[in-house]
Amino acid sequence: MDAAKLHRYISKGEKSTMAIFNNGDSTPEAIPTNSNTTIITAGAKLKGELELSCNLYVDGELDGTIQSTKEVNIGKNGSVKGTINTDKLIVKGYMEGSINANRVEIKAAGHVRGEICSAELIIESKGVFEGKSIVKGSTSKEASKPLENKTTIKTAE
């Protein structure tokens, strides 16, 4: 089954579907030609290392390492345990481990536990971050020192 047919099949809401694919073979008019995305659907469980030059959307479970030059999204059903190195990370689900990115966004209902090293960290209302945050590119000696104590940030409405 090619990626376009699989995408249509998944879009119909089939309950027991799980897939990993890259939509680089299909270019519907609504999707720009440079927006290739690999999708790990709900129900999929993976262990290992992913090295990508495209966007990644995780709505299943992944235990391991993600290396991406583009954007990584952890969907509301997604769970990642391990290490993520990417340009931009958006968390709507759960992430536990180490993050190295230029920009990290923790959306409402998103939960991150671990260490974040980023130039930008955005936590929306009802987003949760438990761990240590290190600011990339900081020139101040005090600002570049990581916090020694556990930091828990829970935003309220």
* pLDDT tens digits for range 11-62: 444 443 444 554 444 434 443 444 589 999 999 999 999 999 999 999 999 9
3-state secondary structure of 24: helix
Looking at residue 138, what is its pLDDT?
Answer: 65
Looking at residue 137, what is its pLDDT?
Answer: 81
Would you state the structure tokens that stand for residue 11, as one six-digit string? 């879009």
6 phi, psi to nearest 5 deg: -65, -40
Amino acid identity of 40? Answer: I
The mean per-residue pLDDT over the stretch 111-135 comes to 96
Would you state the structure tokens that stand for residue 100, as one six-digit string? 């190295």
Long-range contacts at 28-32 (CB < 8 A, ≥ 24 apart)? 28/4
Amino acid identity of 13? Answer: G
In this model, does residue 71 exceed pLDDT 70?
yes
Looking at residue 14, what is its pLDDT?
Answer: 41
Looking at residue 44, what is its pLDDT?
Answer: 95
